[in-house]
Amino acid sequence: MVDKKQRILIPGGAGYIGSHVVLCVLLTRRYKVTVVDNYHNSFPTSIERIEKIALDALPKDASQADRDACKVDLIKGDMRERDTFDRAFAQYKGDDAIYAVILVAALKAVGESGEIPIDYYDVNISGLVNLLRSMKEAKAARLVYSSSATVYGTPKTIPIPETSPLQAESVYGRTKQIGETIIKDTCDAYPDEFRAISLRYFNPAGAHPSGLIGEDPRGKPGNLLPLLAQMAVGKYREPGLQVFGNDYPTPDGTCVRDYIHIMDLAGGHVNALDALSDDSKFAQLPSPGKYKAYNLGKGKGMSVLQMIEAMKKVTGYGYPYKIVGRRKGDVPDLTADPSLAEKELGFKAVHNLEDMSRDLWNWQSKNPQGYGQQ
């Protein structure tokens, strides 16, 4: 019996979220993976390490097809260039044709997005349109889209259900809100072809327990957790840590976020991928119900000061910080209601704050220079 595996295209698969998604897809032993990445904020070394973890996880009697599927095909390309995706789809034909796409490639920093909005719209919107055009031509019309909790803006209901109004307050959030609309319109226009799920991420944190892959942003980290980890190994200690605002309507005045372990978040993409199959409950929704969005979060909010304290416990570093003014685009509380994803996708975030902090520190302490950049 031939062990056939469907091929999945993952733009952005060499990055932090993407690398863990690629690993989770490989660990199912049901798919082959092709990654498209331009290494703007990622390193090809992550793919080599993913392959090692996937191979090491195989049983001794694993088939040759399973072993071959632990090898990731890597295409260097920029999603803003139309031929990038055309080349990727043209490379695979017949039984090896690309079945579905998990899009995690994007610019993603809230603060930065307000400084360079044209770049954010160019990458996150133009790149998405290029992908959808190529998908339609290749008849590979299954998509898992990485969206964001920032599409909710300042929500009135906490924890946040998917029924909350979409009212993004940052450029980054608006690119994700517009992206969701484009995908839904595409599914509505071609209900017999397209099927898509948007996953609204809350705050990914942690790393794979092996310490082989983790978050390694180029330059100074724009997010709290990788910054705390890099400070603890001696990077970016001057001028200390800035906490943006302590006058929010939260228990300690600092922003509250729903932190979800990266392995839980990555596993949610496999749940979504399974839901896109022809025999899933999702596939039976009446037209135009071929598109739906789900929250991926833990369902528990933690403040900036609580996260600093959690990292202090695992690293032993004191984290001097100062309170500064609020940052444009930040909202007081983004805590998920993940119950819909649990009910309809079978998603469940099982790791806790201690797991996230420990695994993050395990990655950073073993890789003080990340994937080796100087």
Q: Taking phi first (over 0 means left), then psi (-120 to 50 degrees means alpha), and beta for anything else, what does residue 234 get? A: left
pTM for the model stands at 0.95
Overall domain count for the chain: 1
What pLDDT does 1 receive? Answer: 34
Is 1 part of a structural domain of the chain? no
SS3 (DSSP) at 75: strand
Give the model confidence (pLDDT) of 207-246 as tens digits.
999 999 999 988 888 889 999 999 999 987 767 799 999 9
Mean pLDDT of the chain: 94
Is 149 part of a structural domain of the chain? yes
Is 218 part of a structural domain of the chain? yes
Is 372 part of a structural domain of the chain? no
- Catalytic (active-site) positions: 172
Give the model confidence (pLDDT) of 112-147 as tens digits.
999 999 999 999 999 999 999 999 999 999 999 999
Contacts of 163 (CB under 8 A, 6+ apart): none
Is 371 part of a structural domain of the chain? no
205 pLDDT more than 50: yes
> Residue 273: which CATH number?
3.40.50.720
Query: CB–CB of 101/144 below 8 Å?
Result: yes
Comparing C-alpha atoms, which of 102, 78, 141 is closest to residue 24? 102
Is 215 part of a structural domain of the chain? yes
What pLDDT does 328 receive? Answer: 81
Query: CB–CB of 113/171 below 8 Å?
Result: yes
Is 356 part of a structural domain of the chain? yes
Is 212 part of a structural domain of the chain? yes
Backbone phi and psi for residue 250, each to the nearest 5 degrees, phi listed first: -130, 165
Containing structural domain, residue 95: 6-366
